[in-house]
Amino acid sequence: MISIIIPVLNEEATIEDLIKRILTLDPERAVAKEIIVVDGGSSDRTVSLASPQATVLTGPRGRGQQCNYGARQATGDILLFLHADCVPEKDALVDIEQAVVRGALWGCQRLRFDNRRPLATLVALCANLRARWRHIVFGDQGIFIRRDLFLRLDGFPNLPLMEDYRFSLDMRRQRLKPTLVKSRITTSSRRFDTNGYLSTLLHMYHMRRMYRSGADITRIQALYENVR
């Protein structure tokens, strides 16, 4: 079984459509699945929109901590973490299950943006090459992992942001390479469209560099909020 874990905070604009999309994945029902939405204290209609067709839990605020909380409650042997604004392709669950059967320990889907302009396509390509060659994966790429391995590693680090980056660095240090499945996941290009592609890329690179150099996470968080 694949447990699909969605950390949310005020996601009423996207959560209902995402759950409906998940329910259409694997139309032949070859893969068993459960949907777990972990709310971090939403003040909008997120919980009421999600609850009819998903298990809704209330966890500690923070994307990484919410993912960890959902993983501990999950019953599937494979975990798939989805951001609320990311939409997987219909074959995603089959591709992920087959990858794990073939020996994959963890991995991601191939990223693309809802904006198909050349710059957006180039950024997505670079993200996919980064995952393949540098083994760095971010949450909007739809991270999947065997549940036993995730729990053995104590899940994502307790950080207010960059938990996916830290997780990838830790996995790379242990020589645990991610597997890229063939299906794609579509995410919003809003941040790039609003702030500019080059500016956003440089800003994100600067934040990762600050993190690696040991900068206070609250300073990085302030920079992140400026480009959301």
Single-letter code of the amino acid located at 50: A
Name the pLDDT band for 31 (thresholds 50, 70, 90).
confident
Q: Which of 115, 42, 118 is nearest to 84 (CA)?
A: 42
Q: How far is CA 122 from the centre of its chain?
A: 20
Counted domains in the chain: 1
Per the listing, tokens 């180039």 go with 122
DSSP state of 38: E
- pLDDT tens track for 93-150: 999 999 999 999 999 999 999 998 999 999 999 999 999 999 999 999 999 999 999 9
Determine the Cα angle at 5 with ends 76 and 115, to 5°.
130
What pTM does this model have?
Answer: 0.94
Residue 129's domain comprises 2-188
The rounded distance, in Å, linking the Cα atoms of 210 and 212 is 6
Instruction: Answer yes or no: is 135 within a domain.
Output: yes
Half-sphere exposure of 125 (CA within 13 A, CB side): 7
Task: Rounding to the nearest 10 degrees, give the CA dihedral for residues 215, 220, 222, 223.
Answer: 120
- pLDDT reported for residue 227: 43
Instruction: Answer yes or no: is 224 within a domain.
Output: no
Evaluate if residue 228 carries a pLDDT over 70: no
Instruction: Answer yes or no: is 158 within a domain.
Output: yes
We report the CATH number of the domain holding residue 6 as 3.90.550.10
Rg of the chain over CA atoms, in angstroms? 17
Two structure tokens written together for 123: 């950024």
Instruction: Answer yes or no: is 198 within a domain.
Output: no
Instruction: Answer yes or no: is 94 within a domain.
Output: yes
